[in-house]
Structure 1
C-alpha cells in the first residue's frame, strides 16, 4: 500500500511539474523572458542607444516587477515568434499580437489590453485615385506589409487582385512605397501614424479610416491557464491604479520619445 501511495505521489508531482505555468517558472528562475519583434512603433522598438523601449515593454516591465523578477527581452523575427514560444525560447509573447482564430489554435491569449486596426499609407501622387482599400483591389497596384502580420492577411483577403510583397520589417515595406517601388503599405493605425512622420519623407498620406478593429493581447503556451489568470488580474490592477493610463499616455499621446529613435 505504501508503494502504491508513493507511486501516486510521484505521478502527481510529475503532472504538477509538467503543467507548471509561465509565472511559476519565471518566479523560480528569477527572470521573465519575453519574446518580441522590436520594430513596431510605439509598442516595441529600438532606440539610438540600442535599448528596446515602448508601450508593451513598459507594461511587461511592470509585470516583471509585480512578479518580483528581472525582465529579459528576447528579440525575434515576427514569423518565428510563435514557434519560439512553443519551443520554450521565452515565456510569453508581447509583440503587438492581434487575437485571431488561427493563432489561438497554437497559443492562449490573455484579455485584450488595447485595440487597434489596419490602415493604409499610400503614395501622395495616388491620392486622387485611391480613397479606400477597395480601390486597391486591382492588379495594377502593389501592396506591402510585414510578413506574418494581420496586414498581410487583410491585404490578401480584401485586396487579393493586387500584387502583395512581404518584408521582414515594417520600415523595409514602407520605404518601398516611399521610393515608388510599391503603391501602398498596410499596417496597424498606431504604427502608421508615427511612421508617416518618421519615414514618409512627405511622400505619403495616411488613409486613416480603420479597415479592421483588432484586439491586442499577450500570448502564452496552451494549457497555461494559471498564468493567464495572473496576467489578467495584473492588467485589471494597473488599469485601476493609474499605471496603465500613465504608460498609454507616454507612448500614444506624447511624441517626445521620437527624438531617441534612429
Structure 2
C-alpha cells in the first residue's frame, strides 16, 4: 500500500472515488421495476413529497440510467433477467424523489460511461468513481458509497501486497483498478507489462483460476462474491485502494446534478441509502 500512498492523496484532492463494472456488451432495458425491490428498503416513487420537477432529461418523465450489470452487489441481474443491486435501488429511489420513471440500460462499462458523456443516458451508475480524466468529460454527484479495492489470489499463492509489481495482474478494462495498476512505477503503478485487461470481473477471475494471471484487482464487494462462488480463491489482507462512488452526468447538466444531489441528500438523511447498502453488504 505504500506504493499507492501518493496516488491516493492526489486523488483525494480532486474528489477521490473508485470504479468497476463491465459485461459482455449486450444491451437491455428495464423499467423502474427492473431496479429490484426498493420498497423493502423503504424506497418507492410514492415517497416523493414534492411536485415533479421539470428537469433536462432525455425523455420527459423518465430518468435513463446506463450501467453494467455484472458488478455485484452494486448491479447484477436476477434469475428473471431484472437488474437489481445497490445502484439500481438508489437510482430508483432518486427517480421517485424527482417524480420520474427509472429506465435502466445495461451495457459494457466503457459504453455506460460514454452514454452519459454523450447525453444518451441521463446518469451512469456502475460503481463509478471520479478521476481527473472523467472530470474533464462528465459532472458528478456527491458520493453515495465507499468502495475498497482488494486483491484476489489463489489460496497458498506467494502474491503479497508488496510484490504485486513482480506478478501478472488481471483487472477489468476501463476501471480505476486497471488504470492505477497499469500506470508507470513513478506514478505508483506497476506498468502495462504487468497488467492484463479483461472485459469484466468474472473473466478476470476465470483467468486467475486458469493460471493466466497471478492475481486480480477488483472492488471488495464483488471480490467477496467471486471468492464465495469459486473455492480455492482468497482475498489478500489489507486494502489496495479506497475510493468513493458517485453518479455521472453529462458535462454542464447542472440542473440535473443539483436535483440528484438534493434527492440523494434526503435519502441519506432519512436512512434509505444506508438501508440499501445494509441490505446487500452484510458485516463479515
| TM-score range relative to shorter protein | 0.7 to 0.9
CA-to-partner distance for each residue in 1:53-88, whole Å, 9 max, x for gaps?
000100001111112221110012112222212322
Whole-Å separation in 2 of the counterparts to 1:171 and 1:32: 29
Quick check: which has more Rg, 1 or 2? Answer: 1
The reply to whether residue 240 of structure 1 matches residue 269 of structure 2 is: yes
How far did residue 162 of structure 1 move? 5.3
Correspondence 1:60-209 to 2 at 5 A: 60-126=91-157, 129-132=158-161, 134-138=162-166, 141-157=167-183, 158-160=189-191, 163-198=194-229, 201-209=230-238
SS of match in other structure, 2:79: coil
Per the TM alignment, residue 254 of structure 1 is displaced from its structure 2 partner at its CA by 7.6
Equivalent position SS for 1:105: helix
After superposition, the Cα gap between the structure-2 partners of 1:78 and 1:28, relative to the gap in structure 1 and judged at 3 Å, is: closer
Q: Deviations over 1:124-170 (max 9, x none)?
A: 131xx2221x31211xx321111100110122132227532111111
The SS at the match of 2:102 is strand
Higher helix share: 1
Distance 1:183 1:246 in 2: 36
Which runs of 5 or more structure 2 residues have no equivalent in the other structure? 1-52, 184-188
- Give unmatched runs, 5+ long, in structure 1: 1-21, 256-262
CA separation of 1:164 and 1:225: change in aligned 2, threshold 3 A: same
Give 1:8's aligned residue.
none
| Contact 2:159 2:215 (C-alpha < 8 Å) held by counterparts | no
The separation in 2 between residues aligned to 1:152 and 1:23, in whole angstroms, is: 39
CA apart distance, 1:209? 1.1
